Amino acid sequence: MQPEIRYARSSGAAIAYQVLGDGETGLVFVPDFGSNLVYAWQSRYWPDFYEDLARRFRLILFDKRGTGISDRHGEFATLETRMEDLRTVLDAAGSAEAVILGANDGCAMAVLFAATYPERTRALALFHPIAIPDTSPDRDEELRRLREGWGTQEYMDELLQSASPTLYARGEQDRLWFANWERVSLSPAFAYALNRAHAETDLRPVMPAVRAPTLILYRHG
């Protein structure tokens, strides 16, 4: 069952969040590039992940600024502003201290939060973090293709085949689900802005300030 959706107000933007589970330890999930708190609960995949975490933690979910059902609120915000959105969500959810679980680009927010608010970070768990900027020669061309192709089934198929070939191989229904998940999570302009910011972020100056126990996770290959 989908938990109640609430909104935290952060620097003029409304940030959608949900709370489920009643564990003693809070855990906030900082999602990867896009999410949608409504569509996720209608999928075959996300509810099991959320409910498994909620059996062990008091789980806090949110759509980052510019994604899902949260406000876009003007131009794409800095990492510092988006990190403060995370703090505002934790305040609204009544969480003084939490485990921060970040995925992909969400890891940057998680690391910056841990460095800025060590007293509120019980531990970090980071799935596929990237610490250094992407300086590959084809980066700008890939971002251009993303900006032009985002939301089309052809581009979404290409993205899925690269990111999750097993899901791609399951067939048309799963390919359509993934494409719709990305469409309701991010507009083309914000998909471009978020991916560009992710490619340009350098976490190395921040990392020495992190004192929380940290688990780093990478998928094989």
209, pLDDT greater than 90: yes
The pLDDT value recorded for residue 72 is: 84
Domain ranges of the chain: 6-133+201-217
Least trusted range by pLDDT, from 16-20, 43-47, 105-109: 43-47
The pLDDT value recorded for residue 221 is: 67
What is the model's pTM? Answer: 0.95
The pLDDT value recorded for residue 134 is: 95
Q: What average pLDDT does this structure show over 132-155?
A: 96
> Is CATH 3.40.50.1820 what the domain over 6-133+201-217 is classified as, yes or no?
yes
The pLDDT value recorded for residue 220 is: 81
Question: Which of the 8 DSSP states describes residue 41?
Answer: G
Q: How far apart are CA 58 and CA 25, in angstroms?
A: 6
b/e per residue, 112-137, with b = 16+ CB within 10 A? bbbbbbeebbbbbbbbebbeeebeee
Comparing C-alpha atoms, which of 7, 16, 12, 9 is closest to residue 185?
Answer: 16
pLDDT tens-place string over residues 156-168: 999 999 989 999 9
pLDDT tens-place string over residues 62-93: 999 999 999 987 778 999 999 999 999 999 99
The pLDDT value recorded for residue 108 is: 97
Confidence of residue 219 (pLDDT cuts 50, 70, 90): confident
3-state secondary structure 143-201: HHHHHHHCCCHHHHHHHHHHHCHHHHCCCHHHHHHHHHHHHHHCCHHHHHHHHHHHHHC
